[in-house]
Structure 1
């Protein structure tokens, strides 16, 4: 039997954000039925905030038998399905961004874990026992 791995995602959008986060929730929920969601939180963009709209960010945790690279590939595919292009990113428009932050106890994006938008999204996770998402 394959081992179930714990995954922690952070999702964000600053372009038609409610729609794109809902579409991501539907797609990820279909693929990972045990997914748990934090509340969406409004956050400010990093860097030059005058040219970029604010974001909606959200944390999700789930278990899967897929390898980390496959989970990341699926996330990038969902981003593209929601209109994410390199050109939009250059303009500061992000229809959907999905980052695999942790896979089991392995932190894949250590710099992201300390970013304000990730911390705020993690604080909005309904399971108040923070060790649960920190282990995910």
Structure 2
């Protein structure tokens, strides 16, 4: 199955993005990453910039298992549910699509994701 994910952080961005890339590379051989891009927050009032990146990989693992791996990496970076209200995103890794099934249609329309996808094609 072919997976597309997005990775983002607005807190300790460099360290958390590196952690995400390292863990994802360990889990999914052959993963490819777009260039990391700095963006302004879309919905937050907190002024911290985001680092964002898109990645693609193939895996025989089912969607539920891949999603569980992504959420485990977020927790490893220290992400806590209560921080969402404070607009702190240590690490956010979202499944955008798998084999043509789109899980985050609004995200797939964002400029930085479109640019990342173009780099990966």
Q: Specify the alignment match of 1:76 in structure 2.
A: 71
Partner of residue 11, structure 1: 7
CA distance in 2, matches of 1:66, 1:48: 34
Q: Structure 1 length as normaliser, TM-score?
A: 0.83
Instruction: Say which is worse superposed, 51-60 or 92-101, in terms of deviation.
Output: 51-60
Structural RMSD (CA): 1.4
* SS of match in other structure, 2:106: helix
| Secondary structure at 1:24 match in 2 | helix
CA drift at 1:114: 1.2
* 1:54 alignment partner in structure 2: 49
How do residues 1-136 of structure 1 correspond to structure 2 at under 5 angstroms?
5-49=1-45, 51-123=46-118, 125=119, 127=120, 132=121
Secondary structure in 2 matching 1:110: coil
1:17-38 Cα distance to aligned partner (Å, 9 max, x none):
1110101111110110110011
Contact in 2 for aligned 1:41/1:56 (Cα 8 Å): yes
Equivalent residues of 1:9, 1:102 under 8 A apart: yes
Contact 2:5–2:95 (8 Å) recurs in 1 = yes
Report the count of equivalent residues: 121
Structure possessing the higher radius of gyration over alpha carbons = 1
CA distance in 1, matches of 2:86, 2:47: 8
- 1:109 deviates by 1.0
Structure 2: gaps spanning 5 or more residues:
none
Does the 8 A contact of 2:44 with 2:87 survive in 1?
Answer: no
Q: Using the TM superposition, give the Cα deviation of residue 121 of structure 1 relative to its aligned residue in structure 2, in angstroms.
A: 3.5
